[in-house]
């Protein structure tokens, strides 16, 4: 057994990334001469001041002559560049998985079907090779979401994509409780006896799973009622203790569901239990706009760039989903696919928003859908999501629109610390650029 493990480690070396976490800055920083895009207000040409990791001032160019600079300060000339808030991946497994084919690197799934006590942040690997790749494209924060082979997966955490340990990286722990909502198929749609039998079996299984979810909430309420009445011994049940913020309305439940029947069922459940929910996935959310609007239920559209779920639907149905939610007054944001196979592709988050913009979503709304709106839904809009005085200096400096594939992220800051944007791909690029430079030199000789 030990020989096999040694052989495995030699064949699949699981090294951490080479990027060092950035130390806390010792001086104030002024990003000067750039076009500032606050997101919550009109863009302008001017300077952005960073003091102790926070945005301390936003000065328009016309007012810059009146500004007094207190030293020590580092002035960065960014003329011709643009400053945007860092983007937020609101449905991901970044840090929880590395290589799909290597079981030892997959920490996003806990055994069992009812795991409300699971905390995603403690399993996050700060040395993940995927962090530098993701933040190099402007994504600076990610909601690490526990996955599940069962029903209640546990609590997610919003992580900054830089830090020595998971404790350094946590921006907000226990953002929400995540539930995989069972879909009850309609046996009446069967076209033959075999199909009807299969649908009835699946329907029975889904109803059993729904009952487990409802029973879990019932047991959690009974547990806390008994604790309040001091009718139970001091023995603590960590599962039901973790449910207390949900039952009190302090923590939302993130319900992963796509089909319209599942969305309606989840909304009905939230009303019955008097809990806050967020729909994640929501490919059919456009069909439930009045219901979602009435109950003020936000949607994390995950993903936009996908195929229709039904043969008869228009090819652009997923791409127009955000626009329909916007027109219907439903709060939403845009995320990537969020599955265990998709962690390496979280860097493509801006292009999910770009696809929605290409199919009618106003461009400024598309940008908000990966910055301000996820911050609001995740409960951190007082710190990130826009460029405003008093908020964290978590931002990117680009040479163009961050939703465009041709745009490069030149600089990035997380809480005022300048982030190393190099990664495995950039190092390989430099390596082989040098190779061909040397080959050209030999040819010229």
| DSSP symbols for 346-392 | GGGHHHHHHHHHHTT--HHHHHHTTTHHHHHHTT-TTTSSS--TTSB
The Cα–Cα gap between 258 and 356 comes to 18
Strand partners, 299: 279, 332
Q: What Rg do the C-alpha atoms of the chain give, in angstroms?
A: 24
pTM above 0.85, yes or no: yes
The pLDDT value recorded for residue 9 is 47
For residues 63-81, give the mean pLDDT. Answer: 77
Greater confidence (88 vs 338) lies with 88
Q: Residue 345 contacts by C-beta under 8 Å, 6 or more apart in sequence?
A: 336, 337
- pLDDT range class, residue 184, cuts 50, 70, 90: confident
Give the tens place of pLDDT for each residue, 391-402: 999 999 999 999
- Say yes or no: do domains 15-86+385-445 and 87-384 share a fold: no
Superfamily name with CATH number, domain 15-86+385-445: Urease, subunit C, domain 1 (2.30.40.10)
Number of alpha carbons in the 13 Å side-chain half-sphere of residue 234: 0
Percent pLDDT > 70 in the chain is 91
Q: Residue 105 contacts by C-beta under 8 Å, 6 or more apart in sequence?
A: 14, 97, 98, 99, 125
pLDDT over 50 (residue 83) = yes
pLDDT over 50 (residue 298) = yes
Residue-level length of the chain: 445
Greater confidence (110 vs 318) lies with 318
pLDDT over 50 (residue 435) = yes
The rounded mean pLDDT for the chain is: 88
With H, G, I as helix, E, B as strand and everything else as coil, classify residue 158: strand
The Cα–Cα gap between 347 and 370 comes to 12
DSSP state of 53: T
- pLDDT range class, residue 66, cuts 50, 70, 90: low
- Poorest-pLDDT segment among 16-20, 187-191, 284-288: 187-191
Give the tens place of pLDDT for each residue, 234-263: 678 899 999 999 999 999 999 999 999 999
Burial letters 275-301, b for 16+ CB under 10 A, else e: bbbbbbbbbbbbbbbebbeeeebbbbb
Complete DSSP assignment for 274-340: T--EEEEE-TTGGGGHHHHHHTT--EEE--SSS--SSTTS-TTHHHHHHHHHHHTT--EEE----ST
- The number of angstroms, rounded, from the C-alpha of 232 to the middle of its chain's C-alpha atoms is 39
Give the tens place of pLDDT for each residue, 201-216: 888 888 889 999 999 9
C-alpha distance from residue 397 to each of 54, 134, 138, 145, 443 (Å): 16, 15, 9, 28, 39
Superfamily name with CATH number, domain 87-384: Metal-dependent hydrolases (3.20.20.140)
List the chain domain ranges.
15-86+385-445, 87-384
Cα dihedral 364, 350, 138, 59, rounded to 10, equals -10
Helix axes 317-327 and 349-358, enclosed angle (nearest 10): 80
pLDDT over 90 (residue 440) = no
């Amino acid at each position: 057994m030990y020989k096999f493990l040694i052989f495995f480690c030699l064949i699949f070396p699981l090294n951490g990334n080479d990027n060092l976490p950035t130390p806390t800055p010792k001086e104030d920083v002024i990003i000067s001469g750039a076009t500032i895009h606050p997101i919550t207000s009109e863009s302008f040409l001017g300077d952005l001041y960073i003091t102790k990791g926070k945005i301390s001032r936003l000065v328009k160019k016309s007012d810059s002559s009146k500004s007094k600079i207190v030293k020590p300060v580092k002035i960065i000339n960014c003329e011709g560049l643009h400053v945007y808030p860092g983007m937020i991946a609101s449905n991901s497994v970044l840090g929880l998985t590395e290589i799909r084919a290597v079981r030892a690197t997959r920490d996003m799934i806990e055994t069992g079907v009812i795991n409300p006590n699971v905390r995603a942040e403690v399993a996050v690997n700060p040395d993940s090779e995927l962090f530098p790749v993701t933040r190099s494209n402007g994504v600076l924060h990610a909601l690490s979401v526990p996955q599940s082979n069962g029903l209640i997966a546990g609590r997610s955490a919003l992580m900054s994509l830089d830090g020595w340990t998971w404790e350094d990286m946590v921006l907000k722990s226990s953002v929400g409780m995540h539930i995989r909502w069972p879909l009850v198929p309609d046996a009446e749609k069967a076209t033959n006896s075999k199909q009807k039998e299969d649908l009835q079996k699946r329907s029975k299984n889904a109803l059993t799973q729904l009952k487990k979810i409802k029973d879990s909430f019932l047991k959690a309420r009974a547990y806390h009622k008994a604790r309040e009445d001091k009718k139970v011994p001091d023995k603590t049940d960590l599962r039901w203790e973790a449910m207390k913020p949900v039952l009190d309305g302090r923590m939302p439940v993130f319900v992963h569901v796509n089909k319209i029947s599942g969305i309606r069922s989840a909304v009905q459940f939230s009303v019955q239990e008097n809990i806050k929910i967020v729909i994640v996935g929501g490919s059919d959310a456009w069909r439930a706009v009045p219901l979602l609007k009435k109950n003020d239920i936000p949607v994390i559209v995950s993903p936009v760039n996908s195929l229709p779920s039904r043969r008869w639907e228009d090819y652009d149905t997923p791409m127009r989903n955000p626009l329909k939610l916007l027109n219907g007054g439903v709060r939403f944001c845009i995320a990537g696919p969020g599955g265990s196979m998709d962690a390496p592709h979280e860097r493509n988050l801006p292009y999910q928003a770009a696809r929605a913009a290409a199919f009618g979503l106003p461009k400024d709304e598309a940008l908000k859908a990966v910055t301000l709106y996820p911050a609001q839904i995740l409960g951190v809009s007082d710190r990130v999501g826009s460029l405003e005085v008093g908020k964290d200096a978590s931002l990117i400096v680009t040479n163009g629109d961050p939703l465009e594939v041709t745009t490069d992220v030149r600089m990035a800051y997380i809480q005022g610390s300048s982030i190393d944007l190099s990664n495995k791909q950039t190092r390989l690029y430099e390596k082989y650029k040098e190779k061909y430079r040397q080959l050209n030199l030999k040819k010229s000789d």
